[in-house]
Amino acid sequence: MASVKVNRSLCSICGKVPSLSFCVGCERVFCTDHVEQHRLDLSSLLDRIVLEHDQCKQKIIQYTEESKSHPLMKQIDEWEKQSIEKIQQVAVDARKQVLRTFGLFASDAITTMKNLTEELTRAQNNDNFFEKDLRQWMDTLTKVKKELDKPPTISIRKGGSDVPFISKIIINVSDIFDKSAGRISIKDEGKLIVNIGSNGYGTVRSKGEYSTGKHRFRFKIEHTSTHKWNLIGIVSKTTPLQATAYNTLTSFGWIANNFVCLNGKLFANHNGYKSDVDKNDIIELLIDCNQQTIRLTNERTHNTHELTVDIALCPFPWQIQLSLYYSKDRIRLLWR
Ligand SMILES: [Zn+2]
Ligand SMILES: [Zn+2]
């Protein structure tokens, strides 16, 4: 072990007074005055951490008890508000247009009615009207009434459904890796796994747990060695995580060299499986809890392979399990 050379003669703060105290935390020396200051500095840092801790706890309570205050909920509220405003604006514009057109039509109708009033008054006073007049007046009134309800110069139709007027809000829910064992590191907020150090097994598991329904995940093989060794599959949450996923009980998945893993045992060419994973490939994993199957599809080659998972051997909930062996190999979990 390298020895730490410490200048014990001078205080690390004032650099003047001969020092007496040594801090094992930062390996610095202090004079009597400054050792006190150093402890005070550390105490105020602790106070800040306690404050952060309280705020963090408060946030958990707030988001749990009033979910409306969550930033994601606010994003949904904002989308709702903007969509409603957009609808209201279009409705306001449409009403204005109808009123303007109806106004022109109504003034014509008023003129027609004025003329008719005069004719009817004259007819009543002079008593000189016949069937032809009555028919004509009745026709005029029918036409005006009909056109008042449905002015001939306006119609309303709805826009086509090909381009939606209001954009739909889409909530993407993905998964992340949050547990690892062996020579593997989880990066990019749980989306990227990297083999670290020299060659050696490393395994990760997802945070998500699956017991019902269908779940689709896509992985990008960002780097793979010439041997192309990786394992993609599932495992029962009930089984403890270990670095060597390929021999972990309840492991089901696909490996290099045409091997599949069934309950922690390897089988070559099972149901004709041929490994074809290469660098930059995008691999889809479909977990179907209802059918109790998992399916691997290589989007480049379109090769697809399904495994039946014996629920008696591999009880729910299932978790995604990925494993790497070669140094620097890297797989990314994509958002969709
Ligand atoms: Zn000092
Ligand atoms: Zn210190």
Euclidean distance between CA atoms 219 and 206, whole angstroms: 13
Find how far residue 185's CA is from the centre of its chain: 23
Q: Measuring CA to CA, which residue among 251, 210, 201, 230 is closest to residue 331? A: 230
Q: What is the pLDDT of residues 291-315, one digit of tens each?
A: 999 999 999 999 999 999 999 999 9
CA 22 to centroid of ligand 2, rounded, Å: 8
CA 45 to centroid of ligand 1, rounded, Å: 20
Predicted pLDDT of residue 3: 46
Q: Measuring CA to CA, which residue among 217, 214, 221, 212 is closest to residue 176? A: 217
Q: Give the residues of the chain that fall short of pLDDT 50.
A: 1-3, 6-7
Euclidean distance between CA atoms 98 and 95, whole angstroms: 5
CA 20 to centroid of ligand 1, rounded, Å: 10
Question: Any idea which ligand is nearest the CA of 34?
Answer: 1
Amino acid at 266: L
Predicted pLDDT of residue 336: 65
Predicted pLDDT of residue 168: 83
Euclidean distance between CA atoms 260 and 81, whole angstroms: 51
Q: What is the pLDDT of residues 19-70, one digit of tens each?
A: 778 899 999 999 888 999 999 999 999 999 999 999 999 999 999 999 999 9
Question: Any idea which ligand is nearest the CA of 15?
Answer: 1
CA 34 to centroid of ligand 2, rounded, Å: 11
CA 30 to centroid of ligand 1, rounded, Å: 5
Paired with 307 in beta bridges are 294
How would you classify residue 189: left for phi > 0, otherwise alpha for psi between -120 and 50, otherwise beta?
left
CA 35 to centroid of ligand 2, rounded, Å: 9
Predicted pLDDT of residue 45: 96
Question: Any idea which ligand is nearest the CA of 13?
Answer: 1
Predicted pLDDT of residue 148: 86
Question: Any idea which ligand is nearest the CA of 12?
Answer: 1
